[in-house]
């Protein structure tokens, strides 16, 4: 009998068992090695692209400004997120390993959500940065200094730790009334919390974490772009409007890439929309794996300073003729 048919007694309450069971990509469980190549390719390209962004910002003094430091943090969160996902994804694809120790599952859950909320926080900070640059261009250099950026960075780190550090401990001590079978290929705290007995207050805290980060940040980003749109409409010159809009193009694309799949998943779960399981799983993969892959390309193409300095560094240096 398949391990996925294990059922908990409907009215029984147990502590967390030593193992969680993960669900792989539907339809690919019979040939797990087939999707190993795309996963490894996505991971290597994500690390290469974000590593290039990190490298060029670190070594170029002309890029040592808050706007590029925010991009540096975005690349850190992208690398951290895709790295946190890979252990269970590769375990499923390479060997069909569905069983994951509870301690490893809780650890993965913490890092996945830490870097996911970090990415959301950085996208919000970048939106506020663009709003300041466009709405208050004369005051911008004094309002957003490197010292202010350092304080924002510390705030982001403390926010991520404060929201997610309690979760592994809460989940480990909650009573469970269902078999510990998760619906994704990685450990996520809403997925784990739904297995708890009704009324478990750890599940309520889990919902608070989701709403306070992934619910609040898109609203504030939307508000920032509302301010930007109002300023752009007031510009008489189409050229100025185009230049100002271009400074937001890469960031807006990154925002849509990160939030749209997440919002679609939330709507599907909340409204119980009947979609095939492969579609649901694919949206989850897009939400977590596509931004780390695409963001470096977006910023390399849309930001002239980044593109030019990467190309300059990659060009072979001319060597003087021997005398």
Is residue 21 a contact partner of residue 182, using CB atoms and an 8 Å limit?
yes
Residue 181's DSSP bridge partners are 21
- pLDDT above 80 (res 31): no
Q: What pLDDT is stored for residue 1 in this prediction?
A: 36
Report CA dihedral (246, 73, 265, 178) to the nearest 10 degrees.
180
Alpha-carbon span 135 to 123, nearest angstrom? 18
Closest C-alpha to 188, from 100, 260, 113? 113
Q: What is the pTM of this model?
A: 0.88
C-beta separation of 30 from 93 below 8 A: no
Strands 19-21 and 99-101, by their bridges, are antiparallel
Residue range 152-202, pLDDT digits in tens: 999 999 999 998 888 888 888 888 887 788 888 889 888 888 887 776 666
Sketch the domain layout of the chain as residue ranges.
Answer: 15-307
Lowest mean pLDDT segment, chosen from 1-10, 86-95, 110-119, 185-194: 1-10
Instruction: Name the band, by pLDDT with cuts 50, 70 and 90, for residue 10.
Output: very low
Considering only the top CATH level, what class is 15-307?
Answer: mainly alpha
């Amino acid at each position: 009998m398949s391990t996925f048919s294990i059922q908990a007694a409907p009215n029984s309450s147990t502590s967390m068992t030593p193992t969680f069971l993960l669900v792989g990509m539907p339809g690919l469980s019979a040939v797990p090695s087939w999707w190993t190549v795309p996963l490894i390719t996505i991971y290597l390209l994500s690390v290469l692209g974000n590593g290039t962004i990190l490298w060029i910002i670190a070594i170029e003094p002309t890029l040592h400004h808050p706007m590029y430091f925010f991009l540096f943090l975005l690349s850190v969160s992208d690398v951290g997120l895709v790295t946190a996902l890979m252990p269970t994804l590769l375990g499923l694809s390479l060997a069909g390993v569905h069983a994951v120790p509870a301690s490893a599952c809780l650890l993965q859950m913490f890092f996945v959500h830490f870097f996911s909320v970090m990415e959301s926080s950085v996208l919000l900070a970048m939106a506020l940065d663009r709003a300041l640059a466009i709405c208050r261009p004369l005051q911008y250099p004094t309002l957003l200094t490197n010292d202010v950026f350092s304080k924002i960075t510390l705030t982001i780190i403390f926010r991520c730790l404060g929201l997610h550090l309690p979760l592994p401990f809460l989940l480990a001590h909650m009573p469970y009334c269902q078999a510990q079978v998760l619906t994704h290929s990685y450990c996520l705290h809403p997925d784990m919390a739904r297995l708890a007995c009704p009324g478990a207050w750890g599940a309520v805290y889990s919902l608070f974490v989701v709403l306070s980060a992934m619910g609040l940040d898109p609203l504030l980003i939307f508000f920032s772009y509302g301010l930007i749109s109002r300023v752009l409409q007031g510009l008489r010159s189409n050229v100025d409007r185009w230049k100002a809009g271009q400074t937001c193009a890469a960031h807006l694309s990154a925002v849509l890439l990160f939030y749209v799949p997440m919002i679609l998943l939330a709507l599907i779960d909340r409204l119980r929309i009947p979609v095939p399981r492969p579609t649901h799983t694919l949206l989850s993969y897009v939400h977590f794996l596509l931004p780390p892959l695409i963001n470096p390309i977006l910023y390399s193409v849309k930001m002239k300073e980044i593109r030019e300095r990467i190309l300059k560094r990659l060009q072979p240096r001319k060597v003087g003729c021997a005398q």
